[in-house]
Amino acid sequence: MALSLVDLHTHTTASDGTLPPAKLVAEAKRAGLRVLAVTDHDTLAALDEAEAVARRKRIEFVPGVELTAYHRGHEIHLLAYWVRRGGELEREMLRFRARRLDRMKTMIAKLRAVGLPVRESDVIRPGMGAVGRPHLARALVRLGHARDVSDAFARLIGTRCPAYVRKYRLSMKRALRLVRESNGVSVIAHPGKRGALDPLFAELKDLGLHGIEAYHSSHDRASIERYVAIAKRMRLIVTGGSDFHGEAVKPGITLGCVRVPLRVVGALRRAADA
Ligand code: AMP
Ligand code: ZN
Ligand code: FE
Ligand code: FE
């Protein structure tokens, strides 16, 4: 049985999780969850299937997505809930995937230029979501060009390596605007134990941020309490989730493994309706 009745941060095979949407929801039901959000990276592709299964299994479903955005040199993960389908944000995600595909083709051309034969079809498969360096690294290992994934990053595709190409960066300002324009609720994901992002919260709130993910599998008790206090002081909502990806990707992180108070769901809904 899960520790929690609520899990507002999970990933499926639509991004980098191991369970397809229907399986994830079935697993959530088995674990005893009452409220489940699916928050894949940069795609809404899992939401229809997950929502349909959740309805059948009588789990309250919250549609979500996790974006990666940048602010003052910090990489920030942003959760957005109830984003309108076919809205500005979904269009931006389509453009984002197209840019990642172009970048991957450039990286592959650079590898060929240094004498390593890689074909686009070794890395890029139809129907895959956002393509990234982990996919390329695994292809390089399969092709015998690298010993393992970390060797691929160390010699070929890491930041200062011959085949590295910088990726397109979405600004936090633009991300928050897109969520707002799509009628979604935005929550800063797992701000971290060390509080590095704390000085940015006020500014982000002015840009439209609604909440902080205080309860998260990477936070200890002290940081959870700190974020709950900060949110209360700043009148931001608090959310939480496991960041479940499946045992093979994040061992030990199970659905509902982070205790999230049930009242969090009501506050999130009120923010969405406001
Ligand atoms: P991308 O967004 O395509 O630039 O890929 C970034 C991802 O590559 C990160 O989220 C990590 O999962 C992975 N990554 C980055 N550096 C390394 C490394 N040195 N070894 C293994 N994986 C890495
Ligand atoms: Zn992930
Ligand atoms: Fe994240
Ligand atoms: Fe996540």
- The atom number, within ligand 1, closest to the CA of 150 reads 20
Q: What is the pLDDT, as a whole number, of residue 130?
A: 82
- Average model confidence (pLDDT) for the chain? 95
CA distance 183 to 68: 19
Strands 211-216 and 185-188: parallel
Q: What is the pLDDT, as a whole number, of residue 1?
A: 72
Ligand 1 touching residue 96 (CB < 6 A): no
C-alpha 12 – ligand 3 centre gap (Å): 13
C-alpha 149 – ligand 1 centre gap (Å): 9
Burial letters for 221-232: b for 16+ Cβ neighbours within 10 Å, e otherwise?
eebbebbbebbe
Ligand 1 touching residue 101 (CB < 6 A): no
Q: What is the pLDDT, as a whole number, of residue 2?
A: 80
Q: What is the pLDDT, as a whole number, of residue 16?
A: 87
C-alpha 15 – ligand 2 centre gap (Å): 7
Ligand 1 touching residue 32 (CB < 6 A): no
The tens digit of pLDDT for each residue in 39-77 reads 999 999 999 999 999 999 999 999 999 999 999 999 999
The tens digit of pLDDT for each residue in 197-239 reads 999 999 999 999 999 999 999 999 999 999 999 999 999 999 9
Amino acid type, 74: H
Ligand 1 touching residue 149 (CB < 6 A): yes
Which residues, in sequence order, are bridge partners of residue 122? none
Model's pTM, two decimal places? Answer: 0.91
The tens digit of pLDDT for each residue in 102-154 reads 999 999 999 999 999 999 999 998 877 788 999 999 999 999 999 999 999 99
Ligand 1 touching residue 167 (CB < 6 A): yes
